[in-house]
Amino acid sequence: MTTFLYGANVAANGIRQHYLRYGGADGSRAKRPAIVLIPGITSPAITWGFVGEVLGRTHDTYVLDVRGRGLSSASPTLDYSLDAQAADVAAFVAALGLREFSLVGHSMGARIAARAALHAPRGLASVALIDPPVSGPGRRDYPGKLPWYVDSMALARSGTDAEGMRAFCPTWTEAERQLRAEWLHTCDERAVLASYEGFHTDDFHADAARLAVPSLLMTAQNGDVVRDEDVAELQRATPAMLHVRVPNAGHMIPWDNAAGFYAAFSDFLGAPLAY
């Protein structure tokens, strides 16, 4: 049975923020922090719906469309900086009146979550950082190359299907590629370019070192986004940070090893995830 409740929009931080809600705040879920899931650079909320379905079994779950993606606000004049994205998250939880919540961010979303935590939003219980780009000033480049994003978005804008996405996502299922083909055109190229530049100019390590709530770092065994030495550096700066490396998975961890992804949380979010 599905845990999907509805999609909705809220006015927060001066923009329209679209989200999908799973699970609800009834029963045992009411005793646990809600989850606010922040996807990556070219991932509208709907593409993380299969994860929202699972999280919704145990937690009241909100999957965000980051500004410039999906059905949230986008425009030529919109600020697509990391600070603006982080302020969106703080305004979102305030607008919805979430009393206690955890931020779960993947890739770009992990960097947003770490920066948002510095705003000390009321009710923040914990932060989970899933395979965050550790690039930044004076560090190695992010291994994902910009043409992969630009070319796939251009193809999606012109109209394509699951087969057209195969060249970009060869290991994904047909259903996953079809969903990406349907929704990738909603990613504003200006937003993606700004976020990609931010991967190399914003200091994620400095943000992660200032986390004042329990934190979990989840990394992929494959893909070279977070190396062992990166994990060691992050844990030296934040000794209480937990770390789990998920085997047999690349950067898009739940696509490659769903069971390993959910198991990696253990009871960090207040209860084991019912996968």
For 113-251, strand residue ranges (E) read 124-130, 215-220, 242-246
- Residue 146 is encoded by which pair of tokens? 């910009």
- 254 found inside a domain: yes
Q: What is the pLDDT of residues 130-173, one digit of tens each?
A: 999 999 999 999 999 999 999 999 999 999 999 999 999 999 99
Residue numbers of the domain that contains 69: 4-137+202-265
Q: How crowded is residue 213: how many other Cβ atoms within 10 Å of its Cβ?
A: 13
Kindly report the CATH number assigned to the domain that includes residue 112. Answer: 3.40.50.1820
Based on the structure, what is the number of domains in the chain?
Answer: 1
What confidence category does residue 120 fall into, taking pLDDT thresholds of 50, 70 and 90?
A: confident
- 95 found inside a domain: yes
What is the pLDDT, as a whole number, of residue 207? 98
What is the pLDDT, as a whole number, of residue 143? 96
pLDDT above 70 coverage of the chain, percent: 100
- 169 found inside a domain: no
- 172 found inside a domain: no
pLDDT of 121 above 90: no
Nearest CA-CA partner of 106 in 271, 246, 273? 246
What confidence category does residue 98 fall into, taking pLDDT thresholds of 50, 70 and 90?
A: very high
Q: What is the pLDDT of residues 175-214, one digit of tens each?
A: 999 999 999 999 999 999 999 999 999 999 999 999 999 9
Q: What is the pLDDT of residues 261-274, one digit of tens each?
A: 999 999 999 999 98
Helix (H) or strand (E) holding 14: none
Nearest CA-CA partner of 179 in 255, 246, 253, 248? 255
pLDDT of 41 above 90: yes
What is the pLDDT, as a whole number, of residue 47? 98
Q: What angle, rounded to 10 degrees, do the helices at 82-96 and 189-201 form? A: 110
pLDDT of 224 above 90: yes
- 161 found inside a domain: no
CA atoms within 13 A of residue 44's CA, in its CB half-sphere: 22
Contact 94, 28 (CB under 8 A): no
Q: What is the pLDDT of residues 55-97, one digit of tens each?
A: 999 999 999 999 999 999 999 999 999 999 999 999 999 999 9
